[in-house]
Chain A
Amino acid sequence: MTAPTIVTTGTDLLADAVADQAVDVQRVDWQPPMPGTIDDLATVIADPLRAEANAKAVEAYLGVTAQLVDVLPAGEALGLGTGDFLHAGPPISWERASGPMRGALMGAAAFEGIVADAEDAPAFFESGTGFTLSPAHHHHAVGPMAGVVSPSMWVFVIEDAATGARTYCSLNEGLGKVLRYGAYSPEVLDRLRWMSEVLGPVLQRAVRAAGPVDVTAMLAQMLQMGDEAHNRNRAGTLMLLRDLVPAMIRSESRAGDVADAAAFVGGNDHFFLNLAMPACKLALDAARDIEGSTMVVAMARNGTDFGIQVSGTGDQWFTGPAQVADGLYLGSYGPEDANPDIGDSAITETAGIGGFAMATAPAIVRLVGGTVPDALATTRRMGEITLTQNPRWTLPVMEFAGTPTGIDVTRVCRTGILPQINTGMAGRVAGTGQVGAGLVTPPAEIFPAALAALAERARPRVTG
């Protein structure tokens, strides 16, 4: 026998005693788990289903190939009727909604013609009748920032070729004063109208003519081109355009409309975000509802609450107060102008990209005054709380290691390391629009809450 490597977790004294024998020692920097989690950790880790359930969840997640197959009005794709509104994050009422969420709902109400003027919308929503509010996540959909979707807006249709499962996401409006950041001025509504009347149909004809676009494969390329697919989607946007432009030109769309659509897409570095998000959701949805699995399948914020869903606990949301991002501000805006964290876009981090793939997009780390080593460290740190690496999505600078994938509630509670999310910041006041961008983490307490629910389910299996 040759001397094995010894991995030591605990007192340095015992590690030193091994090292004194000229043996290779790897020390774990162990620290106590999050307060109050020791007993629940013991129960969940003893759950005889856990290891296999997590393996199954990971396999299901990795088995999905997301393809853009169509572009449709939301009413048609999602069965929404007049007065039905989807929003980002866990469920929320008008009363508890933040400024940007209210602003987006006001704009959407005006856009749908429910109110003549967006400023009349608060009275409409306060009346409590004539509308429904529900999370996009409850409709196989996701939306960035406020994530408000109403029937007349158009959505991307993403499909898993193997199972036919579908997810949906609105079309990205660009940066600055836009509905998803809570702006609802006439220019915002005019742009939305153009997107529904021109952009949506142009893209629909192109996608139907060009055939499915493999979004999963495109994400793999983006990650090798400096995009982390949350705050940086430049390469992905241009690749999409490259794939669709010939079909756009050959289609029956008017040449002027095609030119406008191409200019709009090409001029909006974030256009691909709205494809990355539903692709991530499609893969994560495949990992849902596996009893015993501790894998997080959704992280989402509505501007008031941050919520997560876990594979082994069904549709239950675990929520806590959304935090304000730490970052840089546009113009003369400052921290006092920023709304707490908002949007379904944390689905990208849940799927192992965005903040988790920071190493591949070092520019993003500068949003908080960080450095390239910080970016590498962040991706490595996310490896501490994830179940596996995604072999399809690799990071050249990390020696082509796969993106850290499948957030494990138990590892978050054990290490206290919170998922790192790259995000935009919306103005606190309805109608403001974007005020900055930065980095944010979930409220820590939602992970022990999810762990407690997992322990509750596991207990009969452990003691029985």
Chain B
Amino acid sequence: MTDHVRIRSGAYADSVTLLQVSKRVAGTPGVAEAQVAMATALNLETLAAMGFDVPAETGPNDMVVALRLADATLEDALAAVEEALAEAGRPPVRDGAATTAPPRTTAAALREAPGDAVVLVSVPGASAFPEAMDAVEAGHDVMIFSDNVPLEAELALKRAAAGRDVLVMGPDCGTALVGGVGLGFANTVRPGPVGVVAASGTGTQQVVCLLDQAGVGVSAALGVGGRDLSEAVGGLATRTALARLDADPATSRVVLVSKPPAPEVAEAIASYAQSLDVPVELALLAPGTDLTSRTEAVLETLGVEVPRWRRWGEPENASGPGFLRGLFVGGTLCDEAMLLAADVLGPVHSNIPLAPDLALDTGVITSGTPVAHHMMIDFGDDALTVGRAHPMIDPTLRRAALSRAAQDPTTAVVLLDVVLGNGAEPDPAATLAPAVAEARAQAAESGRALPVVVSLIGTDADPQGLDAQAEALAAAGAYVFTSNAEATRHALDVVTAAGSPLVSAAADASVTASGERR
């Protein structure tokens, strides 16, 4: 062990740098201890305590290099000192990432965002509340795409928002059009005079796409969440949304799209709507009505001719009696189809049933156990999206169900929906059309026809392109409609024409759609 002390008069580095240099040099192989320091009284004491002998005349403006070497040469150790000093004085090379880290909370992001920024929250439901509350407290409108948000959280958000003139869209809000920007699953529609307030995502998409097809544009589509018109929430967001559109000079007519609201809430909202200057048209899903007819009513009030809703492909008959199999990605589209079907076919079993005794277990759906009933499945329901993406993004489950329906000799007709727009699959027909063709081929091998009916919800301007998608599906043998109600009615005709004995049985059972859920 040898000690070496070198004095560098006039050399200077700050104490922190020198601590760092000392640490580095001490880590050099063969160096037992190292202390590089300005010769202040304190440091001289430290050096003395370490057992180094420092010349008496050394002063605070001198740098001391004290080395205790095991088996390193002095030359190597001094080189390590030089290197460490040089390194400490060099500006760091960085990509700047450390200083421009993205914000970690919505609140932090909003500090630097413009005042009219809109927040889109899609974190897991249990964590959506704090993020959405950040937006509300900062005075920004927020769309909550997340599902599984507790009711108490929704109430807290909407009560806080009401006092701040903030709009809470959601939770479980799938689509919105705000300031010309589509949020969530959103179709590209032309700007125009109709404002939509919606407690239903795919219902909104159906309405705005039909309006667009008729040449009528949309000023805004404000989702409010499926529970907003329940008794518990009482339409808090619906009121704010209606007031927004009332104040919007670009909006001359409002459509309120919803599943049937709680009666007292419906009454209160209707009387609130009456107090506004802008006329409000109600498009409520209920037995005896559908979104297409409500959209047509809006067109008539605007003096716009109702077009023949576009369709592609050819109709086809079933080869014998059987059941209707509806395989949906859109919850409201599924609801609408069930309401129409219940009128004609009687009970329709579903994972989102119209009455509790019609409930289908999730296991039955995923395992493919044959069901001897008319059946409509919403693959976008919470229970079928646990740990997987929405079927508008991940079509795996539905494709498997389609294949099983093809092999099932009791299938009379298959009814599918395809929803286009931003956020949805970039080219759903690319996988669905071959699947349809294959399903039909499978049935044909068994000597059966497999009529496939598709509701295609989209616009010409959507990224996927309405025509291209429709043509690909029609080429695969599907009969493609832009109106979900028309598609459903056609499918019902096919089932009825096939003369299923079940139809008369169902009529006897006098089952009516109550519109209630579980």
Q: Could you tell me which A residues sit within 8 Å of B by CB distance?
A: 1-11, 13-15, 17-18, 20-21, 23, 26-33, 38, 41-42, 45-46, 51, 175-176, 328-332, 363-364, 366-367, 369, 371-374, 376-377, 380-381, 383-384, 410-411, 414-415, 417, 462-463
Q: Would you call A9 and B106 a contact (CB within 8 A)?
A: yes
Q: Would you call A28 and B105 a contact (CB within 8 A)?
A: yes
B42 within 8 A of A: yes
Q: How far is the CB of A15 from chain B (nearest CB, A)?
A: 8
Q: Would you call B19 and A367 a contact (CB within 8 A)?
A: yes
Q: Would you call A38 and B126 a contact (CB within 8 A)?
A: yes
- Please indicate the chain A residues that have their CB under 8 angstroms from the CB of B101 in the complex: 29, 377, 380-381
Please name 17 further chain A to chain B contacts, defined as beta carbons within 8 Å, in addition to the given A21-B181, A366-B88, A377-B99, sorted by A numbering: A3-B180, A4-B179, A6-B117, A6-B183, A9-B109, A10-B121, A10-B131, A14-B122, A21-B182, A26-B117, A28-B108, A30-B123, A46-B133, A46-B152, A363-B14, A371-B98, A373-B96
Q: Would you call B102 and A6 a contact (CB within 8 A)?
A: no
Q: How far is the CB of A460 from chain B (nearest CB, A)?
A: 14
Q: Could you tell me which B residues sit within 8 Å of A by CB distance?
A: 14, 16-17, 19-20, 22-23, 33, 35, 42, 45-47, 49-50, 88, 92, 94, 96, 98-99, 101-114, 116-124, 126-127, 129-131, 133, 135, 137, 140, 145-146, 150, 152-153, 156, 160, 178-184, 186, 248, 250, 393, 422-423, 463
Q: Would you call A7 and B123 a contact (CB within 8 A)?
A: no
Name the one of A17, A32, A411 contacting B127, with C-beta atoms under 8 angstroms: A32
- Please indicate the chain A residues that have their CB under 8 angstroms from the CB of B20 in the complex: 328, 366, 369
Between-chain CB contacts (< 8 Å), 30 pairs? A1-B250, A2-B179, A4-B118, A8-B122, A9-B123, A10-B122, A10-B146, A13-B423, A17-B182, A18-B181, A18-B183, A20-B422, A28-B103, A28-B131, A29-B102, A38-B126, A46-B133, A328-B22, A328-B23, A329-B19, A366-B16, A366-B17, A366-B88, A367-B16, A371-B98, A372-B92, A373-B94, A373-B96, A377-B101, A415-B105
- Please indicate the chain B residues that have their CB under 8 angstroms from the CB of A176 in the complex: 42, 45
Closest to B32 in A: A332
Q: Would you call A51 and B103 a contact (CB within 8 A)?
A: no
Question: Given A9-B109, A331-B50, A373-B98, A4–B104 Cβ distance below 8 Å?
Answer: no
- Please indicate the chain B residues that have their CB under 8 angstroms from the CB of A1 in the complex: 179-180, 248, 250
Q: Would you call A383 and B108 a contact (CB within 8 A)?
A: yes
CA distance A186 to B328 in the complex (A): 85
Q: Would you call A332 and B33 a contact (CB within 8 A)?
A: yes
- Please indicate the chain B residues that have their CB under 8 angstroms from the CB of A384 in the complex: 103-105, 108
CA distance A331 to B33 in the complex (A): 8
- Please indicate the chain A residues that have their CB under 8 angstroms from the CB of B96 in the complex: 373
- Please indicate the chain B residues that have their CB under 8 angstroms from the CB of A373 in the complex: 92, 94, 96, 98-99
Name the one of A2, A29, A374 contacting B103, with C-beta atoms under 8 angstroms: A29
Q: How far is the CB of B168 from chain A (nearest CB, A)?
A: 14
Closest to A377 in B: B98
CA distance A383 to B129 in the complex (A): 21
Q: Would you call B130 and A41 a contact (CB within 8 A)?
A: yes
Q: How far is the CB of A387 from chain B (nearest CB, A)?
A: 9
Q: Would you call A6 and B181 a contact (CB within 8 A)?
A: yes
Q: How far is the CB of A454 from chain B (nearest CB, A)?
A: 14
CA distance A331 to B47 in the complex (A): 7
CA distance A463 to B422 in the complex (A): 39
Q: Would you call B183 and A20 a contact (CB within 8 A)?
A: no
Closest to B33 in A: A332
CA distance A415 to B127 in the complex (A): 12
Q: Would you call A51 and B137 a contact (CB within 8 A)?
A: yes
CA distance A448 to B19 in the complex (A): 36
Closest to B49 in A: A331
Closest to A386 in B: B108
Name the one of B42, B113, B182 contacting A175, with C-beta atoms under 8 angstroms: B42
CA distance A83 to B135 in the complex (A): 54
Q: Would you call A30 and B46 a contact (CB within 8 A)?
A: no
Q: Which 8 A-B pairs rank lowest in CB-CB distance, beginning with the nearest?
A: A10-B122, A17-B423, A46-B156, A328-B19, A371-B92, A5-B117, A17-B422, A377-B98
Closest to A413 in B: B130
